[in-house]
Amino acid sequence: MHLNNTKVTHRKETWHVDFFGNAGEQLTVRLPEAAALSEEDAIDRAREMMVQLTPFGTRGGGPSLNRYDSLSNGNFDDHPPFGVKH
């Protein structure tokens, strides 16, 4: 899925984060109101949840090693974490 658009709505103590793909795909993540303080927080939390649920075929579906690993594709050689230079 290639992300094309994101829409956030707040309904009855719940955040709804809709992700739209360029081929017509749509994925909705629902979060309790306490999980995010703003629309931006809701998007970040929804993305974190999707990454945790989808191992992307790395390490045989095992858990992430750390936060950087959970946000990456598992290849630590291409890009150092969060602007750290070796």
Lowest average pLDDT, out of 4-8, 32-36, 67-71, 75-79, goes to: 75-79
Query: pLDDT digits over 13-64, tens only?
Result: 999 999 999 989 999 999 999 999 999 999 999 998 888 776 655 555 555 5
> The pTM is what?
0.61
Distance CA 60, CA 42 (A): 29
Dihedral sign, Cα of residue 14, residue 2, residue 66, residue 58: positive
Distance CA 38, CA 74 (A): 29
Segment (H or E) for 71: helix 67-71
Domain boundaries, the chain: 3-73
CA distances from 60 to 15, 25, 45 (A): 32, 26, 24
State mean pLDDT over 70-77: 54
